[in-house]
């Protein structure tokens, strides 16, 4: 796993801090911004990578990369693809 303890986010719904975090930190996984006590994990990293891929795809109007990034940014962590699957999909581009 990680050589350190995972960061735990404690942003509570309805607080001004949550509103700022959702507005300015949309690269963070949905659960980190909206569910108190969520921990950083491989799935949250997949989400953040998908966010970056989406920005690149939108800039170049790349439909295939947009599709990959959409699956990576699923609000439900277990529905996000595994890293190996993402790499395979990217190799096909």
* pLDDT given for residue 55 in this prediction: 95
Whole-angstrom distance, CA of residue 78 vs CA of residue 70: 14
Average pLDDT over every residue of 37-61: 94
| Whether 8 contacts 38, CB under 8 Å | yes
**Using one digit for the tens of pLDDT, what is the confidence trace for 53-68?**
999 999 999 999 999 9
Render 33-80 in DSSP notation, one character per residue: HHSTTEE--HHHHHHHHHHHHHHHHHHHT-HHHHHHHHHHT-SSGGGS
Average pLDDT over every residue of 69-82: 97
Q: To the nearest 10°, the Cα dihedral for 33, 35, 39, 40?
A: -30
pTM over the 0.85 mark: no
């Amino acid at each position: 796993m990680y050589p350190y303890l995972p960061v735990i986010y404690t942003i509570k719904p309805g607080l001004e801090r949550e509103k700022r975090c959702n507005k300015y930190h949309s690269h963070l996984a949905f659960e980190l911004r909206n569910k108190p006590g969520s921990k950083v994990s491989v799935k949250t990293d997949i989400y953040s990578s998908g966010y970056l891929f989406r920005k690149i795809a939108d800039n170049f109007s790349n439909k295939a990369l947009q599709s990959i990034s959409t699956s990576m940014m699923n609000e439900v962590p277990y529905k996000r693809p595994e890293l190996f699957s993402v790499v395979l999909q990217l190799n096909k581009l």
